[in-house]
Structure 1
Amino acid sequence: MSIQLGGLVLLGVGIWVKVDSTSFVKVLGEATPHLMQLINVGYLCIAVGTFLLLMGFMGCWGSVKESKCLLLVFFVFTLTLFIVEVAGAVVVLAFSSVADIFIEHLKKWAMKSLEEDYERQEDLTAIWNTTMKELKCCGFNNYTDFSNSYFYQTHMEYPSVCCLDDKPCQESEIDSNKQGCLHAFQVFLSKNGKIVGGVALGIGVLELAAMAVSMNLYCKIGTAS
């Protein structure tokens, strides 16, 4: 049931993001502004949510019908997901180069979106504006990320979120206290790492519980037959 609930939540969020991103931005911006990046992964939320929903349904249906086949498939899928999560955590913790590679790919995407898509794509612009405003940052590295951007070439000014007076400005009026969003996000993670770890631990416990229940039912069905 917990897996089904998680899948339903993710599916709902994904559909909400893709159908009405404006209201999602407003609600999420007011509740947890640091998680605005979720709007970038609407389709991923839909895919993962659907997968978890199907897995949860498979487990429930298998227990109701006492189907050893469905219970075993559910157990294998959940175990695989758990192993992948643990392996990913171990790799990230053990090999800092993996994090560097991820950041490098993230940087390429961020630079491309700031230079080519900022102000051209409404949703993407809203994401960047909200992120920079709430994290009190400018650009991915700093304000110079906008120097060769479509926005700067069009207006010959930097975005208002980077400026002292909260309106488009020249380089001399840039707010020097605002660093890049990468640095701001790293600071946020360092302050909230325990919360992230707690959520991950909770997910792992739920998966272990689901596997234990499914295997217990599988063994009982085998004994009864």
Structure 2
Amino acid sequence: MDSSSFDEDTITPGWVREIGESVNSPRLVLSREMSNPFQNVKLPMTSRILKYSLFLSNLLIFILGIVLMSAGFTVSAEYASANGLAELFQDNYTALPVFVGVAGVILSFVTFFGCWGVVQESTTMTLVYGILLTLTMISLLIAGVFGYLYRDAVDHYVEGQLSTSLKHWCHSNPEPWDSIQKSFKCCGITSPSDWSDKADDFKFWAYGYVHYHNGTHLNENYFPENPVPNSCCVEISDGCGLMKDANIHKDGCLAKLETNIGENLSYVAGAAVGISIFTLFGIILAFFLFRKYRERNYSNMD
């Protein structure tokens, strides 16, 4: 039989022809482009400027989100490492820095999502990005304002916590005050004399300690007028706060704590407010670009 009498349809199995037709079918071709059917449509010059501006602003906001995350978690870690502060304030003070740090993480993820939407020229992703960025900006503004307002209440709160803690101080649990006095190089609330109410406790403890270790008794002249914990000493050693010639820190802890906490709150709150204001630029660009994408889609559907 002459081979020329066979055509392609005769020698090609039917299931192969069906696969070939399905691969080249309009439905499959359309499915390849379903991510954005208008992505290959050239944008006007103004839209392209908006697109690249939003992409660059996203990169900058992403970096600022990392900075914000670092600021929040650094401050919270600093006070979490000081056991005295963590116990004294019961983590109330670290709540704001942690919140700001988490907001920085969210901001970084949101801007990454926004960059992907810009690359895809997706109307939906650009709109969602604008909404998420708006919510993040509002959260940062609230956190920043709260930080500044809370800063004014720090003085009374810190003083109250220090007074209560000093009143309940005992040798069995000296860690909170020892940690604070060592970290901030201070003694007492406003001065070393704040420990005067605990003088009898110090003397009683010293009598027992020396008698147990040395078998000797101490007389009253051995002690200073106001004994203090060893953590008040400039150079800490056993029993240094019970000696008359003890070299102790003269500054109280209240002023140093207020200054330190106030500065850190201002730092975190300022970063939150400043970055939230900058995100407004990204929000405006996102909604403008969303509008341009939608206009392009409508015009190409006609």
Give the TM-score normalised by structure 2: 0.48
Distance in 2 separating the partners of 1:64 and 1:149:
64
**Quick one: structure 1 residues 43 and 104, their matched pair in 2 at CA, closer, same or farther if it must change by over 3 Å?**
closer
Letter in 2 for 1:182: L
Tell me what 1:222 maps to. 291
Tell me what 2:114 maps to. 62
Tell me what 1:127 maps to. 179
Tell me what 1:7 maps to. 69
Tell me what 2:195 maps to. 146
Distance in 2 separating the partners of 1:76 and 1:124:
39
Name the SS for the 2:241 alignment partner.
Answer: coil
Quote the RMSD (CA, aligned, Å). 4.5
Deviation of the 1:14 alpha carbon: 4.6
Distance in 2 separating the partners of 1:215 and 1:143:
56
1:183 correspondence with 2:183? no
Deviation of the 1:148 alpha carbon: 4.2
Distance in 2 separating the partners of 1:126 and 1:47:
28
Judge conservation of contact 1:163–1:173 (CA < 8 Å) in 2: no
Name the SS for the 2:250 alignment partner.
Answer: coil
Given candidates 140, 143, 149, the residue that maps to 1:81 is: 140
Judge conservation of contact 2:72–2:101 (CA < 8 Å) in 1: yes
Structure 1 range deviating more: 172-181 or 73-82: 172-181
Letter in 2 for 1:169: L
Q: Can you list the C-alpha shifts for 1:10-44, whole angstroms capped at 9, x where unaligned?
A: 347656875xx3xx89xxxxxxxxxx969965853
Name the SS for the 1:168 alignment partner.
Answer: helix
Q: Can you list the C-alpha shifts for 1:138-160, whole angstroms capped at 9, x where unaligned?
A: 11222243344597486364113
Tell me what 1:95 maps to. none
**Quick one: structure 1 residues 63 and 149, their matched pair in 2 at CA, closer, same or farther if it must change by over 3 Å?**
farther
**Quick one: structure 1 residues 185 and 8, their matched pair in 2 at CA, closer, same or farther if it must change by over 3 Å?**
closer
Higher relative contact order (CA 8 A, sep 6+): 2
Given candidates 266, 276, 279, the residue that maps to 1:210 is: 279
**Quick one: structure 1 residues 104 and 154, their matched pair in 2 at CA, closer, same or farther if it must change by over 3 Å?**
farther
Percent of aligned positions that are identical = 14
Name the SS for the 1:67 alignment partner.
Answer: helix
Tell me what 2:242 maps to. 169
Given candidates 205, 221, 228, the residue that maps to 1:155 is: 205
**Quick one: structure 1 residues 14 and 87, their matched pair in 2 at CA, closer, same or farther if it must change by over 3 Å?**
closer
Unaligned runs of 5+ in 2: 1-61, 118-124, 207-226, 295-302
Name the SS for the 2:188 alignment partner.
Answer: coil
Q: Can you list the C-alpha shifts for 1:150-197, whole angstroms capped at 9, x where unaligned?
A: 974863641134458851126x657697132223456x67xx97x997
Name the SS for the 2:242 alignment partner.
Answer: coil
**Quick one: structure 1 residues 220 and 161, their matched pair in 2 at CA, closer, same or farther if it must change by over 3 Å?**
same
Name the SS for the 1:178 alignment partner.
Answer: coil
Deviation of the 1:220 alpha carbon: 0.7
Given candidates 130, 133, 157, the residue that maps to 1:105 is: 157
Structure 1 range deviating more: 141-150 or 44-53: 141-150
Letter in 1 for 2:250: K
Tell me what 1:33 maps to. none
Structure 1 range deviating more: 57-66 or 118-127: 118-127
**Quick one: structure 1 residues 16 and 201, their matched pair in 2 at CA, closer, same or farther if it must change by over 3 Å?**
closer
Which protein has the bigger helix share? Answer: 1
Distance in 2 separating the partners of 1:103 and 1:117:
21
**Quick one: structure 1 residues 107 and 51, their matched pair in 2 at CA, closer, same or farther if it must change by over 3 Å?**
same
Give the TM-score normalised by structure 1: 0.60
**Quick one: structure 1 residues 203 and 10, their matched pair in 2 at CA, closer, same or farther if it must change by over 3 Å?**
closer
Given candidates 52, 59, 72, the residue that maps to 2:104 is: 52
Tell me what 1:30 maps to. none
Distance in 1 separating the partners of 2:270 and 2:86:
20
